[in-house]
Amino acid sequence: MKLRLGLVAVFAVLSFAAVAGRAQGMDWARATDSAPWPGRTDFASVSFVGKMWLLGGYASGRRNDVWYSSDGASWMEATDSAGWSKRAGLAALVYDNKIWVVGGTEGFGVEHDVWWSSDGVSWTCAATTPSWSNRCYHSVLVFDGKMWLLGGGDTISVRNDVWSSTNGVDWTKETDSADWHGRVWAAAVVLGGRMFVMGGSDGQGHYFGDVWSSFDGRTWSLVTDSAGWGPRGAFAAVVHDSMIWVMGGWNSHNLNDVWCSANGRDWTKVAESTPWAKRTGLEGLVLNGKIWILGGIADTSYPNDVWYSIGLGVSDDPNLGVGPTRIIRVTPNPFRRNAAVVWNSPARGGEVARVFAQDGRLVRQARIPAGQNRWVWDGRDDSGAPLPPGVYVLETGPGVRVKVVKLK
């Protein structure tokens, strides 16, 4: 009960100030500003069978509804009452061609169960009392052919244990006490054959800004004790284009910045402020080559908007190109050493590729021979000197632009 009261106390002091801004390095498009599902926080989301799924959460009470969409704009309700009880602080993942729901909090209690579904409508309870203690605001992921549960809080304390399972019924304790501090509202992702645990809170108002990694779930290494995005909890984290992305969250105030990293140690700020309002308890996922942001809590309200990333990688936003010439793809983006730019070019006399810094300075230009539609930028200026990490605008014709992020 001590933990529950601590978490409630943290919620009680949240006074939100939502200030929507423009992204400096990563553009966003709004799929809808009013999805049919009630706005909420502390819910779960997954990508499954070509759709995004939203499960449970809190908004004027805890919920156990399930919604899905293939485009973020049109949503269908799979069920308004899933087999698992109404809850917030739950975790979800996709494993063995099923959606799995693990734990959560049902008001005054903390759940201790595991459920699965192959369609989001019918749910089967895999375990009512698995080996780990009841759990909420924890992290789950899929790694090395297993489901993993990391940290979170039970009715007594915040935890730093790590468990794995191949069936959701039988769980193996990989460690009872990982090297990282016990935490709730953290994020966990998989990149480069490693699990990463990032940020979160001790449940008593202290937030972490560290990043840890492990190849086996038992031995953990500190990647950095001070990530560029700073201490925060209840944020969104995804892996996309071989990068970890951290978005939004909370630490004394709501956030809507965006950061990315190829290794969990070196972080680049892609956006200081985004068009979606500052918020916490949001969810992020990857679908159709885009990063998606759903829900959360902002300025004491629960927005039910849905946003997706544009301007990085595939350029499918009509505002990024006009006329017959279009930038089609920049890969990789973000990049470290080289970025290949491909576009459809009808120009007969060749074109000039230009790179601008954020302050508008022209830092690099190159004439592209007629008939070519590919140019590789090495991250250097016209003098051959390496440019600093940051966001750059690459132009291949009037109004034909895309934003490119250079990492350290």
Other residues' Cβ atoms within 10 Å of the Cβ of residue 47 = 15
Give yes or no: residues 187 and 52 share one domain: yes
246: exposed, middle or buried (Cβ count in 10 Å: 0-12, 13-18, 19+): buried
Q: Calculate the dihedral angle through the C-alpha atoms of 26, 31, 37, 40, rounding to the nearest 10 degrees.
A: 10
Q: Of 310, 344, 377, which closes a domain?
A: 310
From CA 250, how far away is CA 232, in angstroms rounded? 5
Query: Which one, of 289, 291, 320, 318, lies nearest residue 394 by Cα?
Result: 320
**So what's the pLDDT on residue 310?**
78
Task: Give just the sign of the alpha carbon dihedral 379, 380, 386, 387.
Answer: negative
Q: Of 264, 294, 310, which closes a domain?
A: 310
Give yes or no: residues 131 and 10 share one domain: yes
Q: Does residue 139 contact residue 188 with C-beta atoms inside 8 Å?
A: yes
Query: Which one, of 40, 67, 47, lies nearest residue 55 by Cα?
Result: 67
Give yes or no: residues 164 and 260 share one domain: yes
Give yes or no: residues 56 and 83 share one domain: yes
In DSSP terms, which residues pair with 108 in a beta bridge?
A: none
Quote the distance between the C-alpha of residue 26 and its chain's center: 14
pTM, entire model: 0.79
Give yes or no: residues 152 and 301 share one domain: yes
* Of 152 and 399, the one with more pLDDT: 152
Residue 382 phi, psi dihedral angles, 5° rounding: -65, -25
Which range, of 219-223, 369-373, 377-381, averages the lowest pLDDT? 369-373
| Alpha-carbon Rg for the chain in angstroms | 22
DSSP codes of every residue in 123-180: -EEEESS-SSPP-BS-EEEEETTEEEEEEEE-SS-EEEEEEEESSSSSEEEEESS-SS
Collapse the DSSP code of 267 into the 3-class scheme (helix H, G, I; strand E, B; otherwise coil) and give the result: coil
227-231: which pairs have CB atoms within 8 A and are 24 or more residues apart? Answer: 227/198, 227/199, 227/259, 227/261, 227/264, 227/267, 228/259, 228/261, 228/266, 228/267, 228/268, 228/269, 229/199, 229/257, 229/259, 229/267, 229/269, 231/199, 231/206, 231/207
Residue 199 maps to which CATH number?
2.120.10.80
Q: Does residue 66 contact residue 121 with C-beta atoms inside 8 Å?
A: yes
12: exposed, middle or buried (Cβ count in 10 Å: 0-12, 13-18, 19+): exposed
Whether residue 86 has pLDDT greater than 80 = yes
Task: Give just the sign of the alpha carbon dihedral 325, 329, 335, 339.
Answer: negative
From CA 208, how far away is CA 222, in angstroms rounded? 13
Structure tokens of 56? 């449970």
Domain carrying residue 296: 2-310
Q: Does residue 172 contact residue 165 with C-beta atoms inside 8 Å?
A: yes
Q: Does residue 207 contact residue 187 with C-beta atoms inside 8 Å?
A: no
From CA 85, how far away is CA 88, in angstroms rounded? 10
Give yes or no: residues 108 and 249 share one domain: yes
Looking at the structure of the chain, the number of domains it has is: 2
Q: Does residue 309 contact residue 258 with C-beta atoms inside 8 Å?
A: no
DSSP codes of every residue in 195-252: EEEEEEE-SSS-EEEEEEEESSSSS-EEEESS-TT-S-BS-EEEEETTEEEEEEEESS
Give yes or no: residues 252 and 273 share one domain: yes
Give yes or no: residues 329 and 371 share one domain: yes
CA–CA distance from 304 to each of 29, 54, 91, 241, 375 (Å)?
A: 15, 11, 19, 27, 41
Residue 333 maps to which CATH number?
2.60.40.4070
Whether residue 311 has pLDDT greater than 90 = no
Give yes or no: residues 122 and 254 share one domain: yes
From CA 253, how far away is CA 249, in angstroms rounded? 8
**So what's the pLDDT on residue 10?**
34
Confidence at 98, pLDDT banded by 50, 70, 90: very high
Average pLDDT, stretch 39-52?
97
CB contact set of 14 (below 8 Å; sequence gap of 6+): 250, 280, 297
The tally of CA atoms less than 13 A away on the side-chain side of residue 83 is 20
Q: Of 310, 336, 352, which closes a domain?
A: 310
pLDDT in tens, 181-193: 999 999 999 999 9
Whether residue 320 has pLDDT greater than 70 = no
Collapse the DSSP code of 11 into the 3-class scheme (helix H, G, I; strand E, B; otherwise coil) and give the result: helix
Give yes or no: residues 208 and 150 share one domain: yes
Across all residues in the chain, what is the average pLDDT? 87
Residue 224 phi, psi dihedral angles, 5° rounding: -160, 145
Whether residue 61 has pLDDT greater than 60 = yes
* Of 311 and 369, the one with more pLDDT: 369
Query: Which one, of 228, 274, 283, lies nearest residue 255 by Cα?
Result: 274
* Of 406 and 234, the one with more pLDDT: 234
Task: Give just the sign of the alpha carbon dihedral 71, 72, 74, 79.
Answer: positive
Give yes or no: residues 123 and 144 share one domain: yes
**So what's the pLDDT on residue 366?**
87
Give yes or no: residues 323 and 237 share one domain: no
Average pLDDT, stretch 108-112?
92
Whether residue 313 has pLDDT greater than 50 = no
**So what's the pLDDT on residue 26?**
62
Whether residue 111 has pLDDT greater than 70 = yes
